[in-house]
Amino acid sequence: LFSWSSRPKSFTTAETYKEGDSFELKIKENLADAIKNEEFVLFYQPVVDMKTGRISSLEALVRWNSPIFGFMPPLEFIPICEKTGLIKPLGNWILNRAMEDGKKICENLEYPMDIAVNVSAVQFEGEDFVSVVKKNLEETKFDPTRLYIEITESSLILSLDNILNILKELKNMGIRILLDDFGTGYSSLNYLENLPIDGVKIDKSFISKIEEVNYKKSILSSIISLVKKMNLDAIVEGVEEESQLRYLEECSCTKVQGYLFSKPIPITELHTLFDKKIII
Ligand code: C2E
Ligand code: MG
Ligand code: MG
Ligand code: MG
């Protein structure tokens, strides 16, 4: 279990929190109300197209602005939401808000912008995920061909057939699928071959320290070339340094994402990124 004393520095202490309470339990207790009270907010991080040097999409990343816990990153509460089933109402809210935001963003731009939404495998279970997506598309009038759904391979170990059918239905609606955190889960190559995906997000652990550890460059370039040979987009996450970007150019990587370009930011700050060439 998490403990309050070992919480990340970014957490603010709250009067309501009693020292000694189990952090996980405390989060669980507050989640349902938090969804009701709209305490969640979506930040957006740009993905840059290596060919044009411009932003081609925005990944929606949820944060919890909790009056009790402070500003909370997703890795602290998404796993708990998955365990408790609360990821369904939260995931529904995330889809809806991302499409609403996406609609506004697209309306104010002269070039196309895609929106990427992370989805947990738990959201695929039970109730019909496809109709949840359809309902939100209808409500928001968001263009499905502008939508990417990001799924993580580590969450795909269960019921591949089920997931395959859902992905096929989403594809038929014009939605594109990305395999997230590639290389960190199981049976990666099997998924590349058998799932109807459009691109692969290569986990940030592959780009980190490429200058220091001598074999890392070869691993990364091999993954990129494999992905591209399968006619899929190769998106590298976690690009922080200019030297990493230069290496990715050598590898003919398709897209990049990382702090070098921008951290995830609120929708109101996105205008600072648009219309400027990110990679020069
Ligand atoms: P992810 O989908 O792989 O998202 C990328 C994560 O890497 C984000 O962390 C982002 O802030 C971080 N990142 C991006 N560039 C860099 C970089 O250059 N350096 C470093 N060190 N990190 C970078 P974040 O926002 O904390 O999200 C973590 C994970 O939480 C996400 O990983 C995703 O699995 C999950 N998550 C976030 N939002 C959602 C959501 O709306 N729904 C679901 N189901 N999961 C979400
Ligand atoms: Mg993602
Ligand atoms: Mg990732
Ligand atoms: Mg992830």
pLDDT in tens, 128-181: 899 999 999 999 999 999 999 999 876 666 677 888 899 999 999 999 999 999
Q: State how far the Cα of 236 lies from the Cα of 204, in Å rounded to an integer.
A: 7
Return phi, psi of residue 209, to 5°: 60, 25
Tokens 């890392």 found at: 216
The token duo for 85 is 């089933």
Comparing C-alpha atoms, which of 193, 198, 261 is closest to residue 50?
261
* Nearest ligand, measured from the Cα of 61: 1
Report CA(205)–ligand 3 centroid distance (Å): 10
pLDDT in tens, 199-250: 999 999 999 999 999 899 999 999 999 999 999 999 999 999 999 999 999 9
Q: State how far the Cα of 104 lies from the Cα of 146, in Å rounded to an integer.
A: 13
Q: Ligand 1 atom 35: the closest Cα is on which residue?
A: 74
Q: State how far the Cα of 145 lies from the Cα of 172, in Å rounded to an integer.
A: 10
Q: State how far the Cα of 189 lies from the Cα of 226, in Å rounded to an integer.
A: 10
Return phi, psi of residue 11, to 5°: -80, 135
* Nearest ligand, measured from the Cα of 74: 1
pLDDT score at 201: 97
Asked if residue 269 lies in contact with residue 249, where contact means CB atoms within 8 angstroms, the answer is no
Looking at residue 54, the DSSP 8-state letter turns out to be S
Asked if residue 119 lies in contact with residue 180, where contact means CB atoms within 8 angstroms, the answer is no
Q: State how far the Cα of 18 lies from the Cα of 262, in Å rounded to an integer.
A: 36
Q: Band of the pLDDT at 2, cuts 50, 70, 90?
A: very low
H or E stretch covering 220: helix 216-229
pLDDT score at 190: 82
Q: State how far the Cα of 181 lies from the Cα of 244, in Å rounded to an integer.
A: 18
CA 241 to chain centroid, in Å, comes to 21
Q: Ligand 1 atom 20: the closest Cα is on which residue?
A: 238
Return phi, psi of residue 41, to 5°: -145, 145
| Cβ contacts of 193 within 8 Å, gap of 6 or more | 230
pTM check: above 0.90 = yes
pLDDT in tens, 6-61: 555 444 444 445 555 677 788 888 888 998 899 999 999 999 999 999 999 999 99
Tokens 């897209």 found at: 255
Measured N-to-C along each axis, helices 87-107 and 74-84 cross at an angle, to the nearest 10 degrees, of 130
Q: State how far the Cα of 47 lies from the Cα of 217, in Å rounded to an integer.
A: 21
Four-point Cα dihedral 102, 202, 251, 213, nearest 10: 140
Report CA(179)–ligand 3 centroid distance (Å): 9
> Where does ligand 1 bind, in terms of residues with CB under 6 Å?
45, 60-62, 73-75, 78, 94, 118-120, 150, 152, 180-181, 204, 237-240, 257-259, 264
DSSP E strand boundaries for the chain: 40-49, 55-66, 70-72, 114-119, 147-152, 176-182, 199-202, 233-236, 255-256, 265-266
Report CA(73)–ligand 2 centroid distance (Å): 14
Looking at residue 142, the DSSP 8-state letter turns out to be -
